Amino acid sequence: MPPRSRRRPARGRKKPELNEAARLTDQLTAAGFTKRDVARMLGRDPSLVSQFYTRNKGAAFVPALTHVLAAVQTAGIIEVSELAALAAPHITRRTTAAGTRARVRSKAVLVTPTGTGTGRVGAQAIASGSTRLRPLIAEAARQNLRLAFTVRMNKTGYLHTSGSRTDSPGIRRDVIQRTDHTEERSYGSAATGGFAATDVAARVDAAGGDVTAAIHQWLTETGRIDPTAHITHLEIRTWRPR
């Protein structure tokens, strides 16, 4: 039996080119952030960022990474929690082969030692009071953190036009209009100081633990939405005040 021939390594073989998500991540790490920071900006596990390099993943996060990099380079924003807030509206859920949105499991992320925490809920959780967000709010209150939130609803439910200074934050970049006639608006940020988590936790407790109802009540009381408006998505973000 003839001996097996050994495969010689190809000379001058080039390393595979990085995809766009990996290239943007490299630019963020060059700016002083770690891959773990990038993962926190995207609200994902650090292992996913590693897969930008090893498994060619990350296409869905390119818009968010592009937006974050622009904020770092042009506005000088370095707070990971604030960059995460800027990235969130630009993150789209992956789709199935049929073109429908893929169903993924999600949960409220508990507060990290640095005070950063993010929790998102969709239509199903909204209907049950967004209870998965309550532990995040409670822990933020215990640590005296600051808090911000983003709501999404049919744009006819808002009482003020997009970018109105009467409605927080008064900046169009924090207003995201969707093709399904819904609109996302962010309330509070590290730049504006946000809200005391203790105040939000008290509202949630008064609403019997119903986070959706507590946020809806605040939006109604402050004259921002129609009382009959329906929240379809909700996100909570926390950070430690300077």
Q: Render pLDDT for 157-167 as a digit per residue (tens, 0 to 9).
A: 999 887 677 77
Mean pLDDT of the chain: 82
Mean pLDDT of all residues in 118-139? 85
Q: How many domains are there within the chain?
A: 2
Residues 173 and 222 in one domain: yes
Domain range for 50 is 20-90
Burial 1-40, CB ≥16 within 10 A → b, else e: eeeeeeeeeeeeeeeeeebebbebbebbeeeebebebbbb
Could you tell me how many residues make up the chain? Answer: 242
DSSP 3-state of 182: strand
Q: Render pLDDT for 17-40 as a digit per residue (tens, 0 to 9).
A: 899 999 999 999 999 999 988 988
Residues 134 and 187 in one domain: yes
- Residue 98 has a pLDDT of 58
Q: What is the pTM of this model?
A: 0.54
Residues 84 and 197 in one domain: no
Residues 81 and 139 in one domain: no
- Final residue belonging to a domain, choices 90, 107, 136: 90
- Can you read off the two tokens belonging to residue 16? 């595979």
- Residue 108 has a pLDDT of 46
Q: Render pLDDT for 182-229 as a digit per residue (tens, 0 to 9).
A: 888 888 888 788 899 999 999 999 998 899 999 999 999 999 999 999
Q: What is the DSSP string of 73-134?
A: HHH----HHHHHHHHGGG----B-TTSSBPP----PPPPPTTS-EEEEE-HHHHHTT-GGGH
- Final residue belonging to a domain, choices 75, 90, 105: 90
Residues 230 and 129 in one domain: yes
